[in-house]
Structure formats: C-alpha cells, structure tokens
Amino acid sequence: MFVTLEGPEGSGKTSQGEALAATLSKRIPLVLTREPGGTEFGERVRDTLLSFGAPPLDPLTQLLLLSAARAQHVREVLRPALADQRNVLCIRYSDSSRAYQGGGDGLPEASVEAAIAIATDGLEPDLTILLDLDPIEGLRRRASAGTEGAQEGWNRFDARELAFHERVRTAYLQLARKWPERVVTVNAARPFDIVRAEILEIVLSRLAVDTTGGTP
Ligand code: TMP
C-alpha cells in the first residue's frame, strides 16, 4: 500500500510520519521516505528550493524542479519498493504540488497536473492523510524551536506571506473534497498522541481492506 502524509507547514507531518513508521514497521515491511527528497538528487533539489541562499526561482521552475525530483523518486525508490511488496509511507507527494504550486502560487491546474502525470507516470497514493491546521498555528509551531514541526528550521516556503499559506490550506481542503475516498482529513490542532492514534487507526483499517481485498 502507498500512503502519503500531507499538510501545511507545522502540521506535524515529519514527527507523525516517524511515529507511524515506527509502529507500522513492527507489523509490515515499510519504507519511510519524503519529498522533496528520498533520493540523493531529491535531497539536493530540497536544499536548492528551501535554502535562503539559493537564487530566487519562478513558480514554474519550482514545479519543474520538484517534478524532476519526483520522477527520480518514483523510479528509484517508490516503484521498486511497491513492486517488492513493501508498503510506502511518503511525507508529501503530488498533492503538495497541487496545494503549493497550484493553490499557493496560482499555476494553472493543467500545468500542475501535466507535470504530476509525467513525473509519477500514474502512480497515485492508495491513501492520503491530510493533517489540517490553521496556518497561523502552523507557522507559530514552525517558528518556535523545540516544538513539533520545528525540526528542520525555518525555510523559504515558511517565510512566504500568510495569504500564501491560507491558499495552500484551502487547496488541500478542496483536494479532500474532490477525492474523499483517497484523502482523509485529520484535525492536527489536537495533542500529538491523539492525532497519532487517529492516523494509526485510519491506516490500519485501510491496510485490512487492502490485504483482504475488500472487507476489513
Ligand atoms: P517540509 O518538508 O519541511 O514541509 O518542506 C518542504 C517544502 O517544500 C514545503 O514548504 C512545501 C514544499 N513543496 C512544494 O511546494 N511542492 C511540492 O510538490 C513538495 C513535495 C514540497
């Protein structure tokens, strides 16, 4: 099964992803990975996109860079793991491009979908957990060192204006309405352990459906 974790800044994707992976990997073969990243090339793209020292990039250039990193990730990591009957938990994937480059930056949906189609060659997640959080709270968490979500420091996307983050959240919620079977929204404003338990329950019930071919 291919599961993705999505959500705005500071929603706890990394810490929740690591907690979920620690629990799941005791029961099933699991690969934990992320975007941008997951391959050596992807991590370099991540540095370029997120660091303040890198040159300013047009939104289309960002979409194409992220897509190049995704193409490598799909071919080097995701497809081989799934072909090998392993499960994949990926922190951010195509929905991030829809929410950030489409919703946040306003690139045309047709461009974003074309880039996703080329990069993924049709590989869509079976399940997406959307950690939903008010951007003001998310950015507060990101800015305050030592709290969840602040692990990697303040980056170039965090520093975008509040309206950008509001558009990203709105776009994510629209994706959840568009694909209610695939995208499950979880309220990430609640305490970490409550959110963790809810995510685990959702994933386990989906895994049961997946392995029995229908009935949980
Ligand atoms: P994060 O992993 O700390 O959340 O940082 C990754 C940043 O990259 C985040 O601000 C969202 C951004 N991003 C996009 O804008 N589009 C994408 O397709 C992906 C995967 C990430």
Q: Which domain holds residue 24?
A: 2-207
In this prediction, residue 211 carries a pLDDT of 64
| C-alpha 96 – ligand 1 centre gap (Å) | 6
User: Can you read off the two tokens belonging to residue 82?
Assistant: 């799934």
The answer to whether 16 and 139 have CB atoms below 8 angstroms apart is no
pLDDT classification of 154: cutoffs 50, 70, 90: confident
Distance (angstroms) between ligand 1 centre and the Cα of 155 equals 10
Residue 159 lies in a domain: yes
Write out pLDDT tens, residues 94-129: 999 999 999 999 999 999 999 999 999 999 999 999
Name every protein residue with a CB atom under 6 angstroms from any ligand 1 atom.
9, 35-36, 50, 66, 92, 96-97, 100-101, 152, 155, 157
The strand order across the sheet containing 127-132 reads 30-34, 87-91, 2-6, 127-132, 183-187
Does 30 map to a domain? Answer: yes
Task: Kindly state whether residue 212 falls inside one of the protein's structural domains.
Answer: no
pLDDT digits (tens, 9 = 90+) for 18-33: 999 999 999 999 999 9
On whether residue 216 sits in a domain, the answer given is no
Q: What is the CATH number of the domain that holds 67?
A: 3.40.50.300
Write the pLDDT tens digit of every residue in 35-71.
999 999 999 999 999 988 888 899 999 999 999 999 9
How many independent structural domains does the chain possess?
A: 1
Residue 14 maps to a domain: yes
DSSP-derived secondary structure for 31-52: EEEESS-SSHHHHHHHHHHH-T
